[in-house]
């Protein structure tokens, strides 16, 4: 961790250009509270007044702000540069490597080098854990499952049998990978369980939130593509395929067999009905409900239940509160019309 760094050195490390005094700084803070000796950032020009009034020693900006006293660290992508600055002051740490004697590791499992296995971790027969991966207390890795290198599985993560997790994957506490999909064949009024014999593949650089659930495929694979990020309490049904660098906010639910493209963004509490497609690059507003395939050619941003193009939904939702007034106006027109007829 850097305790002290000159702004010129920091600028070099985060790919920014210094304009102003080359002060020594010791930490980072949000723009509302950053003080002397601290670095902050301004991503949204709307908050320029904060930059002018800030007592921070350095502000990462796209363009200098007139009237500010702080030095500027000029960057094309101030938010990204700030993230790099946070890492300078708070570099990632990891628990010491070592295998707790209170873990249960099947002799048929393979554990890589410099792995951390905390107490009460259970690793099944035929499972494999890559190098430098950290398994926090209570993690369960089912039979034949594999986890790549440099992963971090927080407490109580469950991998069912036979699922595959890539490298540099972060799984937050309580998330469940590979539970049975929800498939039942009715026979009269009863149900017979469809054996869920497929698997799950989590590709490299994925991050999955706390208590999120990802079902294994009935047949085949449920896939989460490289670099995709899922927030907490998300549900991913069986046989879903999600592309790369897609971002899905908390409590969203994706029904079985959906195909979600790459670079898709979903707000929180979104719901997708089954067997539909959301094309690459589409954005879905929070709480929207998707009933059919969404084509990027028909709209980049969708909202509402059922989802329609976002601009249309904004107009509709602004008019909804005026519905009682509209009914009154129509009633008045009808009365006028009736009066006319009666004349």
Least distance to its own copies from the beta carbon of 164, Å? 17
- Is residue 79 within 8 A of residue 73, CB to CB? The reply is no
Name the percent of the chain in helix, strand, coil, to the closest 5.
20, 30, 50
Q: Are strands 24-25 and 5-6 parallel, antiparallel or unpaired?
A: antiparallel
Helices (H) and strands (E) in the chain, counts: 5, 40
Nearer to its own copies, 113 or 328 (CB): 328
Structure tokens given for 63: 């363009």
How far is residue 165's CA from residue 24's CA, in Å, rounded to a whole number?
A: 42
Largest alpha-carbon pair distance within the chain? 97
End-to-end CA distance of the chain: 88
Least distance to its own copies from the beta carbon of 61, Å? 15
Nearer to its own copies, 22 or 287 (CB): 287
Q: Tally Cβ neighbours within 10 Å of residue 305.
A: 13
Nearer to its own copies, 8 or 317 (CB): 317
Nearer to its own copies, 67 or 197 (CB): 197
Least distance to its own copies from the beta carbon of 286, Å? 6
Give the angle subtended at the CA of 304 by the CAs of 298 and 306, to the nearest 5°.
75
How far is residue 342's CA from residue 138's CA, in Å, rounded to a whole number?
A: 81
Query: What SS3 class is residue 268?
Result: coil
DSSP letter at 294 equals B
Nearer to its own copies, 76 or 297 (CB): 76
Least distance to its own copies from the beta carbon of 207, Å? 7
C-alpha count within 13 angstroms, C-beta hemisphere, residue 60: 29
Catalytic-role residue among 106, 156, 172, 238 = 238
Least distance to its own copies from the beta carbon of 161, Å? 9
- Is residue 233 within 8 A of residue 195, CB to CB? The reply is no
- Is residue 202 within 8 A of residue 184, CB to CB? The reply is no
156 is catalytic: no
DSSP letter at 89 equals H
Count of residues for the chain?
343
- Is residue 157 within 8 A of residue 129, CB to CB? The reply is no
Query: What SS3 class is residue 83?
Result: helix
Least distance to its own copies from the beta carbon of 22, Å? 24
Nearer to its own copies, 2 or 308 (CB): 308
Least distance to its own copies from the beta carbon of 170, Å? 8
Nearer to its own copies, 26 or 269 (CB): 269
Catalytically active residues are 238
């Amino acid at each position: 961790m850097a305790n002290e760094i000159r702004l010129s050195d920091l600028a070099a490390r985060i790919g920014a250009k210094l304009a102003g005094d080359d002060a020594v700084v010791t930490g980072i803070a949000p723009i509302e509270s950053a003080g002397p000796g601290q670095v902050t950032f301004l991503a949204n020009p709307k908050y320029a007044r904060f930059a002018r009034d800030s007592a921070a020693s350095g502000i990462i900006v796209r363009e200098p702000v007139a009237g500010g006293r702080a030095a500027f660290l000029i960057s094309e992508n101030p938010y990204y540069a700030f993230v790099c600055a946070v890492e300078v002051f708070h570099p990632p740490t990891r628990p010491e490597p070592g295998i707790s004697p209170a873990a249960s590791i099947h002799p048929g499992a393979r554990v890589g080098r410099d792995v951390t296995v905390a107490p009460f971790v259970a690793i099944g027969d035929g499972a494999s854990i890559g190098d430098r991966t950290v398994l926090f207390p209570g993690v369960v890795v089912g039979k034949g499952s594999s986890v790549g290198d440099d992963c971090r599985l927080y407490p109580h993560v469950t991998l069912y049998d036979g699922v595959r997790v890539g490298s540099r994957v972060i799984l937050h506490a309580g998330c469940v990978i590979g539970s049975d999909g929800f498939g039942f064949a009715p026979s009269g009024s009863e149900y017979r369980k469809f054996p869920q014999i497929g698997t799950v593949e989590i590709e490299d650089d994925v991050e999955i939130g706390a208590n999120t659930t990802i079902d294994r495929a009935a047949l085949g694979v449920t896939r989460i593509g490289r670099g995709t990020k899922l927030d907490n309490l998300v549900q991913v049904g069986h046989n879903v395929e999600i592309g790369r660098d897609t971002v899905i906010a908390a409590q969203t639910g994706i029904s079985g067999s959906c195909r979600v493209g790459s670079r898709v963004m979903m707000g929180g509490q979104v719901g997708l009905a089954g067997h539909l497609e959301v094309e690459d690059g589409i954005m879905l507003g929070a709480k929207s409900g998707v009933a059919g395939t969404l084509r990027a050619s028909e709209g980049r941003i969708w909202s509402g239940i059922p989802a329609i193009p976002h601009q249309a939904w904004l107009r509709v939702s602004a008019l909804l509160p005026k519905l009682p007034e509209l009914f009154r106006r129509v009633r008045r027109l009808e009365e006028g019309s009736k009066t006319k007829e009666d004349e």
